[in-house]
Amino acid sequence: MTKTAMNVTHTDGAARTGLLTTPRGVVETPVFMPVGTRAAVKTLDTADLERLGPPILLANTYHLMERPGADLIAARGGLHTFMAWDGHILTDSGGYQIFSLEPKITADGARFRSVYDGAYVDLSPEKATLVQEQLGSDIAMVLDVCSALPAEPETLRRDMDLTLQWAERCRSAHRHPTQAQFGIVQGGVELDLREESAQRTVELDFDGYAVGGLSVGESRHKMVPALAAATRNLPVDRPRYFMGLGDPVGLVEAVNNGVDMFDCVLPTRLARHGTALTSQGRLNLRNLRFADDDGPIDPDFQHDLSGRYSRAYIRHLLVTNEPTAGRIITLHNLAWLANLTERMRSAIAQGTFEALRREVHDVWLSGSKSGEDGPAAS
């Protein structure tokens, strides 16, 4: 019995809107999910997030089992109580740390050197499942192996097969009565592997399905066919999640291929370095030309939490290293992406998604309208 229901409400080509229902509530899709790796979105608190209104936040299994520990969080009622957050939470399994920290990988799992104290840390599919149950997230991910690209087909097959073995073990270990569990499709940019991985993962009957191992440095023209090969083999009535995607062109391409959910650190990381997402493209607000600019970050999108501040003021904060600058731009960037997903939902419902897709391409692939700041990288 699945713990999520996906009701598709509108389609425009492969793009779709829907209602994702869990025991906690209903989420409109497509949806962008801010990343709170250590149970906090950097520079923001829960009150900020409540005013921004994202229906789902992400947290990370590896980091939270290290600090402060899953037992400690469980003893305090789980992540929702610990964070004072009533919305949905999705927990990554630690699979990204297998990709980024390069631990020793065996059939049993991964052995890390702790990023905190250097001690050995073991993470098996069963432990990743148990820790996420202790955290009490609404959606838990299986432990996977994400191949660094480019990679030889033999390497991609090995990592795909191990991901499938681990997925079966995660499925068998999962006991939480209300927590959904998502499988992860791997296979790099090899179309046959993506199709096979999707088909074999679906056979394990997860509550939803993620596409992993893309947007890790491969070109867009290789990413999109690999994504399409995966999504066309996933069931219509289960949510589809593209892991680690946050640039505007990537988002419209993912939605164009039937994806419902996505997350990325990009909007918050850019914000802390002074860069805003706008209708004109990416703006580096440290630029001297903003020193006497009294206009808002984005004249075409002025959110209540960030639209009151001028570019001149934010630049002043940036060049004097005031943390408030990162906070204001983070609020703006997350609100801006939420607005983009809302526009995508509306366009799909109206049958005009292709026009919106072209608009995003025009701005973000050919530089800003002013031609000075350029597009964001994925």
Q: Which segments in the chain show pLDDT lower than 70?
A: 1, 367-378
Distance, CA of 160 to CA of 317 (rounded, Å):
46
**Residue 149 backbone dihedrals phi, psi, to 5 degrees:** -110, 145
| 334 HSE (CA, 13 A, CB side) | 32
The domains located in the chain, with CATH, are 7-264 (3.20.20.105), 269-365 (no CATH)
Run of H or E residues at 122? strand 120-123
0.85 exceeded by pTM: yes
- 191 close to 229: Cβ distance less than 8 angstroms: yes
12 strand-pairing partners? 15
For residue 150, say if its preceding peptide bond is cis, omega within 30 degrees of 0. yes
d(CA 349, CA 368): 28
Asked whether 295 and 353 are in contact (CB, 8 A), the reply is no
Query: Which residue from 61, 199, 188 is spatially nearest to 125, judged by alpha carbons?
Result: 61
> Taking the CB of residue 168, how many other CB atoms lie within 10 A of it?
17
CA dist., res. 95 & res. 344, Å (int): 29
**Catalytic (active-site) positions:** 92, 263
Sign of CA dihedral 193, 194, 195, 197: positive
Give the whole-angstrom CA distance, residue 134 versus residue 173: 13
Q: Is the CA virtual torsion 165, 167, 171, 173 positive or negative?
A: positive
Instruction: Centre a 10 Å sphere on the Cβ of residue 87 and count the other Cβ atoms it contains.
Output: 18
Distance CA 127, CA 129 (A): 5
Q: How far apart are CA 24 and CA 124, in angstroms?
A: 28
> What CA–CA distances, in Å, run from 65 to 38, 96, 348?
10, 14, 40
C-alpha distances out from residue 250 to 78, 149, 224, Å: 33, 17, 9
Digit-coded pLDDT (tens) for 305-357 = 999 999 999 999 999 999 999 999 999 999 999 999 999 999 999 999 999 99
Rounded CA-CA distance 73/329 in Å is 30
What's the CA gap between 4 and 206, in Å, rounded?
10
Residue type present at position 45 = D
